[in-house]
């Protein structure tokens, strides 16, 4: 278990916390591995009725730790990042997110697989895959247009601009916007409400809501993963990463 991933079971709630606040909870390969293992334990544990994910230190997650990601690029679908994506996409138990601060990349795409999402008023979201010469993951190329419509999804995925909590709410990514500092408490209250419901009914309701899309989600995630791996070694991605570390604006003008 990574020191940056904490988890506990209390009163039927499995709470997993991303805890690397000094890096805005940026995710490493070890953290992805630990998250995948934590979700597997939560899904298997009979005493767990609801799964809650949050971030420490006032942020959800800044997405990938780019230095670590380039040192440990995903070679195949068994890579820690893809194991994590598949783990949360296949959860049968209710999955709740409490989002404060930044939610970048996977920090936003994971929310498309949650059942309930609560965000702070100052939360900020971004899907900067194209900005980095990459492509979407976590079936976001499928789920985001279905959730928000093509025009809004194109703006989010192709421009990669930061958008605020109200936009996430309007786009159907979040259930509610809460005052800063009250998000986790509200999410826990919703978890406790879910625990009073019949567990089998909740699992079956979730299964029925996702049944028509589940095979397509798996197919999309597999296709996205293959293209994502190819893009990691593309000239555009190399330029984007170099510019990031050199703290300059990337120049994509020489690439067709």
- The predicted model scores a pTM of 0.96
The per-residue pLDDT string of the chain (256 residues; one tens digit each, 9 = 90 and over) reads 589 999 999 999 999 999 999 999 999 999 999 999 999 999 999 999 999 999 999 999 999 999 999 899 998 888 999 999 999 999 999 999 999 999 999 999 999 999 999 999 999 999 999 999 999 999 999 999 999 999 999 999 999 999 999 999 999 999 999 999 999 999 999 999 999 999 999 999 999 999 999 999 999 999 999 999 999 999 999 999 999 999 999 999 999 8
pLDDT at 1: 59
| Closest-CA residue to 213 (of 110, 148, 143) | 143
Specify the CATH number for 1-180+199-256; select among 3.90.226.10, 3.20.20.10, 3.30.70.100, 3.40.640.10. 3.90.226.10
* Strand extents, DSSP E, the chain: 5-10, 13-18, 50-55, 95-99, 102-104, 116-120, 124-126, 163-164, 176-178
């Amino acid at each position: 278990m990574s020191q940056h991933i904490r988890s506990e079971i209390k009163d039927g709630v499995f709470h997993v916390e991303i805890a690397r606040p000094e890096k805005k909870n940026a995710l490493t390969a070890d953290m992805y591995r630990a998250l995948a293992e934590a979700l597997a334990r939560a899904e298997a544990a009979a005493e767990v009725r609801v799964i809650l994910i949050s971030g420490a230190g006032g942020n959800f997650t800044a997405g990938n730790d780019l230095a670590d990601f380039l040192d440990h690029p995903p070679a195949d679908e068994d890579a820690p990042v893809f194991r994590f994506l598949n783990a949360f996409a296949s959860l049968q138990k209710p999955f709740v997110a409490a989002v404060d601060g930044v939610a970048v990349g996977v920090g936003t795409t994971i929310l498309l697989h949650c059942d309930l999402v609560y965000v702070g008023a100052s939360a900020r979201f971004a899907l900067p895959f194209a900005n980095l010469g990459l492509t979407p993951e976590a079936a976001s190329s499928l789920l985001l247009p279905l959730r928000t419509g093509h025009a809004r999804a194109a703006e989010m995925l192709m421009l990669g601009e930061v958008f605020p909590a109200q936009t996430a709410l309007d786009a159907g990514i979040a259930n509610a916007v809460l005052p800063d500092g009250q998000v986790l408490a509200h999410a826990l209250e919703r978890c406790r409400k879910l625990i009073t419901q019949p567990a089998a009914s909740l699992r079956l309701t979730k299964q029925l809501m996702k049944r028509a899309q589940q095979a397509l989600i798996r197919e999309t995630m597999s296709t996205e993963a293959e293209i994502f791996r190819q893009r990691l070694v593309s000239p555009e991605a190399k330029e984007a990463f170099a510019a990031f570390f050199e703290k300059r604006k990337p120049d994509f003008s020489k690439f067709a």
